[in-house]
Structure 1
Amino acid sequence: MENQVFAPAAPLASGPDGAVAHLSEHLHFAVVDEDVIVLDERTDAYSCLPGAGAVIQVCGDRIVAPEPVLEQLRDGGFLGPAGDSRAVAPPAPTRALPLPLSPAMDVVATTRFWWSWWREGRKFESRSLAKLLATHRRHSPSSSLSEEEVARLTAVFVRLLPWAPGQGACLYRAHLLRTLIRDAGGDVRWVFGVRTWPFSAHCWLQIGDAVLDDEPDRVAVYTPIMVV
C-alpha cells in the first residue's frame, strides 16, 4: 500500500478493571502480538501502541480495556460515540480463487473492465484513501454473482490490467477489481491487514475463504485491521 506513515506512540498504562468503549469512526485497531496498530483512514496513516495488546481487546468498533487505558485513549482522541456496526473480517483465506482459462474474448467482461478503469482507474492517483473508501461505502449491493462469475471477471481483470495506462500497488488493484465486480452486480470483501517488526500494510479481496487477487500464504502473515 502507498502513502503509509508508521509512528510508534507511548506505551499505555494498565489498570485492574475492564470496560467497554467505541473507537472514533475514522480509526481502526488491530491487535498484533503485544502491540496495537492504529489506522487513521482520513490520513492513510498507521501508528503503533507498543505493549497495548496485553490490555486491549478489539471487536469491530468496540474496545475492551481497563478504565485507565480507556481514559488515555479518550484523551488522545481515539474514542468516540457508538457508531454503525463495522464489517466483520471474513475467515482467513485458505485458497486462491480458481480462475478459468478463457482463450476466447469475453466481450461483456472486457467492456466492463475498460468502463471501470475509465471511471476509477485513471483518476486513482488524485484520490485519497478516504475518498476511495467513501466510493465503496456509498452502496453495498447484495451480490447476485456466483463465485464462478466473480472468477470469470477476475480472470479478465488479470489479463487486461497490464494493458491499462498507469499501474499501482495492492490498493490500486483491489479498488479497480472491486469496482469491476460491483459494476457487474457482485460484491466481495476488501480486507486491509498489517504486520509488525518490520511493519508492513497490505490489502486484498476475498469471497468467502478464497482470495481473489493474491495468494493465501502471502496474506496469512497480515492481521486484518479494516474490512470494507
Structure 2
Amino acid sequence: MEVHLDLDQNRYSGIPLRQEPVDFCAMSSVFRDYSTHAFEASEDVLLFPRFQWVSLRARAYRWRSIKSIAKDAEKCTKKMAKMPATPHEDIAILIAIYNRLKTFRIFPLSCIPDSLACLFFLVNEGCKANFVIGVRENPFMAHAWLEINGAVANDVVANVFHYTPILETANEDYLRQVSG
C-alpha cells in the first residue's frame, strides 16, 4: 500500500499495492539474538530510574496528535545526528535491558508510547534509532516500532512486515514535512 500522511489533519490515506512474498528467516533482526542477555542486576538497577522517566514521559503521548509526536521525534533525530555510532552489541544489550525493565512498569504502554520510551531510553544512552509508524489494511491497523540500521530493534520482523511506514525519523522527506 502506498500511504500518504497528512500531519496537519492528523490522518493518513492509502492506495493498495501488490507485495512480493518475503523470507522472514532471512530478515531476522540482529537485536533478537540478544534477548537472552544474562540478567545483570547492577546494570538494570542503575538504568531503572532513567527507564521510569522515559516511560512516564512517553505515557503523556497517548493524548497527542501525530504531528506533535513527529515534532518531538524530529528533535530526537537532530540530537542523534550529533552522536557517534554505537556498536550493535551495545545497542542490543540496552534493548535487552529495556525489555527486562518493562516487566516492572506500573502501567501498560501501547506501541507508540512504548516505542517512544525505547527511543528516549536509547538516545539518553547515546544510541541512534529510527522511530517508525506504519499502517496496514484488511484489517486496518497502525503500529509503531524502532529500527537501527534497517533492522527492527524493539519488535519482531514478522510483526512489522505487513505495515507500510507512514512516518520515519530517518527519512529526509519526512523531516521536511514536519518542519514545513
Q: TM-score when scaled to structure 1?
A: 0.58
Aligned to 1:104: 40
Number of residue pairs the alignment of both structures matches: 153
Counterpart of 2:72 (choices 113, 135, 158) is 135
Aligned to 2:136: 195
Deviating 4+ runs (over 4 angstroms): none
Gaps of 5+ in 1: 1-31, 54-92
Distance 1:135 1:222 in 2: 22
Distance 1:218 1:126 in 2: 24
Distance 1:152 1:162 in 2: 16
Shift of 1:215: 1.0
Equivalent residues of 2:129, 2:148 under 8 A apart: yes
Q: Does 1:41 align with 2:7?
A: yes
Equivalent residues of 1:95, 1:209 under 8 A apart: no
- Partner letter of residue 28 of structure 2? R
Shift of 1:49: 5.2
Matched position secondary structure for 1:140: helix
Distance 2:154 2:128 in 1: 14
Distance 1:42 1:182 in 2: 27
Aligned to 1:21: none
Matched position secondary structure for 1:137: helix
Aligned to 1:158: 99
Deviations 1:155-196 (A, max 9, x none): 111111132232222101110000000011111111222222
Cα distance 1:111–1:143, how it changes in 2: closer, same or farther (>3 A)? farther
Deviations 1:105-144 (A, max 9, x none): 11433333123234x1342334333222222212332344
Gaps of 5+ in 2: 18-25, 170-180
Q: Does 1:115 align with 2:53?
A: yes
By percentage of residues, which structure has more strand? 1
Cα distance 1:196–1:183, how it changes in 2: closer, same or farther (>3 A)? same
Matched position secondary structure for 2:155: coil
- Partner letter of residue 54 of structure 2? S
Distance 1:192 1:123 in 2: 17
Q: Please say which of residues 137-146 and 181-190 is displaced more in the overlay.
A: 137-146
| Structure with the larger RCO, 1 or 2 (CA within 8 Å, 6+ apart) | 2
Q: Give identity over the alignment, percent.
A: 26
Q: Does 1:227 align with 2:177?
A: no
Q: TM-score when scaled to structure 2?
A: 0.72
Aligned to 1:171: 112
Equivalent residues of 2:73, 2:131 under 8 A apart: no
Cα distance 1:209–1:136, how it changes in 2: closer, same or farther (>3 A)? closer
Aligned to 1:95: 28
